[in-house]
């Protein structure tokens, strides 16, 4: 393996972290005890890399003062290059797993949590039984041996809990980590490496007075998704990355349960994107800001040369609207809501949503809209509280403006890295080659009876409808429709009685298995206002496994279903939505 030399020093200087200690303290011995794994190792599989991954309870310093109890994957390398597994001590994040394309990997997963758990390798293309489907949840004291070959392109992937109805809470408690895959193609490029290649995991958390994690506190948190009060980056609050005056590769991963970021440097320097979920783009693209929804990754080429020593540069999340009900969905959206509600939707409730969601700016927009829109003129916009407990009380309102992390220019350094003008060549998937080129598989995102649904259905462990059944080896045309066609943008009429005011919201849709390509987006005219504050930040040029679908938007994509038969999940990566059942299977036959 070529990884060793390149990666040996890679994370020694990972900012805010030090040392490479493995924190593995097995509570009991597996090796000697047959039958403790729900799936055992198979002797025919000859692994290049082998490690234990144990889910357990520990505590880490996240806030000043008392440590925070977290759930964490800890790792212990058994076989392979010593750099294959890099611990992030003092954080809730699991070790970073460094894989090489073509490597055979065996993972002895152990569950030392007080409840069931299973691990999913997000973005990796592996067989059903290796994919961490919730049907494979293992009980406390049990385990599961994973064995698979890395077939993915070089890129930034991740692993996280995927336990039945518990993914959101378990990931929030800490159960996630990064996977970095390298391959020959990536290695040959003159990209920043070692300490100049930094992962940046974006998360948000709320804490109680005792520094302990606070999960879903209200119906609002559950239905809209959990929004924390504090940014936690690479496991740390107020994260600062010390850098030299030169180029870096920053691997940004949105590990938040439901928070969507609109990332931009505070001084307006554009972002140069070199990779998305499934690895390198064909060539770098530049954006004034980049949207990053839960589960999405983006690699930036960030050049700090010419900057003054001892200065800071803040990565912010900029204001946007339209992602949430009453969230400034555009000039006419207020009227829309009122119109569709046909009187069923309480105006007072709309006001609550306006006030609650956007904080000060949202309230302002809400009130503006109230003034301009007689159909919504029912008052309540100024209040922002009460009514079904749906108001957001996050100190970092979604779509507000806040600091995400900082870069600190530490020292002068001369280097000669040039941003490559081409990075890789993609197999461009063609609509005409799809098995169903004339009839896309439509997946509508909706809500009814207090439940987010896919084609009107909730999760069934082993269920797959005819439109979810796919012949192996085919290219499929798939459409996620968040109210573009129905005009309901995420709210079925039947939902109205149960939950007035719950109109559509943005859903980051994820598909397991192979990466896909986005070929088209459409937005309903009347929702384009909010959409325009978001869509210039999409990076659809490369391979993806998560796509943000805004209210009123329809996204068309092409995806292959090769190599493995079986059940492969697709779901909303707003993890509260996923855990509540906004998830289904594709059945590959
Ligand atoms: Cu990252 Cu099925 O999820
Ligand atoms: Cu996944
Ligand atoms: Cu969702």
Widest CA span in the chain: 72
The answer to whether residue 35 scores a pLDDT higher than 70 is no
Under 8 Å between Cβ of 445 and 572: yes
Give the atom of ligand 1 at the shortest distance from the alpha carbon of 570. Answer: 2
The residue with greater pLDDT, 324 or 23, is 324
Give me the sheet containing 176-182, strands edge to edge: 85-86, 96-100, 176-182, 155-161, 119-122
Give the atom of ligand 1 at the shortest distance from the alpha carbon of 158. Answer: 1
Q: How far is the CA of 281 from the centre of ligand 3 (A)?
A: 27
Q: How far is the CA of 585 from the centre of ligand 3 (A)?
A: 16
Q: Does residue 120 have its Cβ closer than 6 Å to ligand 1?
A: yes
CA separation for the pair 573, 537 (Å, rounded) = 19
> pLDDT tens digit string along 110-139?
999 999 999 999 999 999 999 999 999 999
Closest ligand to residue 571's CA? 1
Residues 533-544, mean pLDDT to the nearest whole number: 97
CA distances from residue 308 to 31, 135, 313, 555 in whole angstroms, order as listed: 55, 54, 10, 43
The answer to whether residue 355 scores a pLDDT higher than 60 is no
Q: How far is the CA of 510 from the centre of ligand 1 (A)?
A: 7
The residue with greater pLDDT, 203 or 448, is 203
Q: Does residue 122 have its Cβ closer than 6 Å to ligand 1?
A: yes
Q: Tell how strand 261-265 and strand 230-233 pair up.
A: unpaired
Under 8 Å between Cβ of 515 and 252: no
> pLDDT tens digit string along 329-345?
433 333 333 333 322 23
Distance of CA 8 to the CA centre of its chain: 28
Q: How far is the CA of 500 from the centre of ligand 1 (A)?
A: 30
CA separation for the pair 321, 400 (Å, rounded) = 9
Q: Does residue 510 have its Cβ closer than 6 Å to ligand 1?
A: yes
CA-proximal residue: ligand 1, atom 3 (nearest): 122
The DSSP secondary structure of 431-472, one letter per residue, reads GGGSTTTTS-EEEEEEEETTEEEETTB---TT---GGGEE-T
What local confidence, expressed as pLDDT, does residue 364 receive? 32
Burial per residue of 423-432, b for 16 or more beta-carbon CB atoms within 10 angstroms, e otherwise: bbebeebeee
Give the atom of ligand 1 at the shortest distance from the alpha carbon of 132. Answer: 2
Q: Does residue 133 have its Cβ closer than 6 Å to ligand 1?
A: no
By the 10 Å C-beta count (0-12 exposed, 13-18 middle, 19+ buried), 242 is classed as middle
Q: How far is the CA of 570 from the centre of ligand 2 (A)?
A: 8
Q: Does residue 584 have its Cβ closer than 6 Å to ligand 1?
A: no
Closest ligand to residue 133's CA? 1
The DSSP secondary structure of 186-225, one letter per residue, reads HHHS----GGGEEEEEEEEE-B-TTS-B----SHHHHHH-
Phi and psi (nearest 5°) for 85? -135, 115
Supply 356's token pair: 């609650």
Closest ligand to residue 224's CA? 3
Phi and psi (nearest 5°) for 158? -155, 170
Q: How confident is the model at residue 86 (pLDDT cuts 50, 70, 90)?
A: very high
Q: Does residue 507 have its Cβ closer than 6 Å to ligand 1?
A: no
Residues 49-70, mean pLDDT to the nearest whole number: 97
CA distances from residue 396 to 39, 205, 293, 419 in whole angstroms, order as listed: 42, 10, 16, 34
- Which position has the token pair 């973005």? 123
% residues pLDDT > 90 (the chain) = 75
Q: How far is the CA of 29 from the centre of ligand 1 (A)?
A: 30
Q: For residue 230, what are the β-bridge partners? A: 205
Q: How far is the CA of 307 from the centre of ligand 2 (A)?
A: 38
Give the atom of ligand 1 at the shortest distance from the alpha carbon of 162. Answer: 2
Supply 527's token pair: 């929702």
> pLDDT tens digit string along 375-419?
333 333 333 333 333 446 789 999 999 999 999 999 999 887 899
Q: Does residue 559 have its Cβ closer than 6 Å to ligand 1?
A: no
Q: How confident is the model at residue 18 (pLDDT cuts 50, 70, 90)?
A: very low
Closest ligand to residue 171's CA? 1
Q: Does residue 513 have its Cβ closer than 6 Å to ligand 1?
A: no
Q: How far is the CA of 124 from the centre of ligand 1 (A)?
A: 10
- Please choose, from the candidates 120, 99, 101, the residue with its C-alpha nearest in 3D space to the C-alpha of residue 109: 120
CA separation for the pair 519, 558 (Å, rounded) = 7
Q: Is 588 helix (H, G, I), strand (E, B) or coil?
A: strand
What local confidence, expressed as pLDDT, does residue 393 receive? 73
- Please choose, from the candidates 162, 158, 104, 169, the residue with its C-alpha nearest in 3D space to the C-alpha of residue 136: 162
CA separation for the pair 234, 198 (Å, rounded) = 10
Q: Does residue 571 have its Cβ closer than 6 Å to ligand 1?
A: yes
Q: How far is the CA of 56 from the centre of ligand 2 (A)?
A: 22
Element (H, E) at 272: strand 271-276
DSSP 514: S
Q: For residue 302, what are the β-bridge partners? A: 248
Q: How far is the CA of 120 from the centre of ligand 1 (A)?
A: 7
Give the atom of ligand 1 at the shortest distance from the alpha carbon of 123. Answer: 1
Those residues whose C-beta lies under 8 Å from the C-beta of residue 343, and which sit 6 or more positions away, are none
What local confidence, expressed as pLDDT, does residue 36 receive? 84
Under 8 Å between Cβ of 82 and 2: no
CA-proximal residue: ligand 1, atom 1 (nearest): 122
């Amino acid at each position: 393996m070529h990884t060793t030399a390149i990666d040996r020093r890679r994370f020694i200087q990972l900012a805010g972290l030090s040392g490479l200690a493995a924190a593995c303290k097995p509570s009991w011995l597996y090796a000697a005890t047959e039958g403790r794994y729900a799936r055992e190792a198979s002797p025919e599989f000859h692994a290049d890399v082998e490690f234990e991954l144990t889910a357990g309870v520990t505590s880490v310093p996240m806030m000043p003062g008392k440590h925070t109890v977290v759930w964490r994957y800890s790792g212990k390398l058994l076989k392979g290059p010593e750099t294959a597994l890099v611990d992030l001590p003092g954080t809730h994040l699991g070790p970073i797993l460094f894989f090489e394309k073509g490597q055979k990997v065996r993972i002895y997963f152990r569950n030392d949590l007080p409840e069931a758990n299973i691990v999913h390798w997000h973005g990796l293309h592996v067989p059903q039984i290796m994919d961490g489907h919730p049907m494979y949840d293992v009980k406390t004291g049990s385990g599961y041996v994973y064995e698979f070959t890395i077939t993915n392109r070089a890129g930034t992937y991740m692993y996280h809990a995927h336990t039945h109805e518990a993914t959101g809470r378990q990931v929030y408690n800490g159960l996630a980590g990064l996977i970095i895959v390298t391959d020959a193609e990536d290695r040959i490029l003159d990209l920043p490496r070692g300490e100049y290649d930094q992962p940046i995991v974006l998360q948000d958390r709320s804490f109680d007075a005792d520094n302990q994690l606070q999960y879903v506190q209200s119906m609002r948190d559950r239905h809209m998704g959990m929004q924390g009060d504090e940014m936690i980056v690479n496991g740390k609050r107020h994260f600062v990355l010390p850098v030299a005056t030169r180029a870096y590769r920053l691997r940004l991963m949105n590990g938040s349960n439901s928070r969507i970021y609109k990332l931009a440097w505070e001084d307006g320097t554009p972002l140069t994107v070199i990779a998305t979920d499934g690895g390198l783009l064909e060539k770098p693209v530049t954006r004034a800001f980049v949207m990053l929804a839960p589960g999405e990754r983006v690699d930036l080429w960030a050049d700090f040369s010419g900057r003054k020593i001892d200065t800071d540069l803040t990565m912010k999340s900029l204001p946007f609207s339209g992602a949430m009900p009453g969230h400034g969905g555009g000039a006419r959206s207020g009227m829309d809501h009122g119109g569709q509600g046909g009187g069923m939707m309480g105006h007072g409730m709309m006001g609550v949503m306006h006030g609650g969601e956007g904080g000060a700016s949202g309230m302002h927009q809400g009130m503006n809209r109230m003034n301009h829109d007689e159909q919504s003129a029912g008052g309540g916009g100024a209040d922002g509280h009460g009514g079904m407990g749906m108001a957001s009380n996050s100190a970092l309102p979604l779509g507000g403006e806040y600091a995400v992390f900082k870069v600190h220019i530490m020292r002068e350094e001369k280097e000669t890295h040039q941003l490559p003008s081409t990075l890789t060549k993609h197999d461009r998937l063609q609509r005409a080659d799809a098995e169903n080129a004339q009839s896309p598989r439509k997946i509508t995102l909706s809500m009814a009876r207090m439940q987010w649904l896919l084609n009107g259905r909730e999760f069934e462990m082993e269920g797959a409808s005819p439109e979810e059944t796919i012949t192996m080896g085919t290219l499929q045309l798939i459409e996620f429709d968040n109210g573009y066609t129905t005009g309901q943008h995420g709210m079925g009429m039947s939902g109205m009685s149960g939950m007035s005011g719950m109109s559509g919201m943005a859903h980051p849709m994820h598909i397991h298995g192979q990466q896909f390509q986005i070929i088209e987006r459409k937005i309903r005219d009347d929702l384009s206002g909010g959409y325009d504050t978001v869509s210039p930040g999409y990076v659809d040029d490369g391979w993806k496994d998560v796509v943000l679908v805004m209210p009123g938007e329809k996204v068309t994509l092409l995806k292959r279903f090769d190599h493995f038969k079986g059940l492969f999940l697709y779901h909303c990566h707003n993890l509260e939505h996923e855990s509540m059942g906004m998830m289904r299977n594709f059945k590959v036959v």
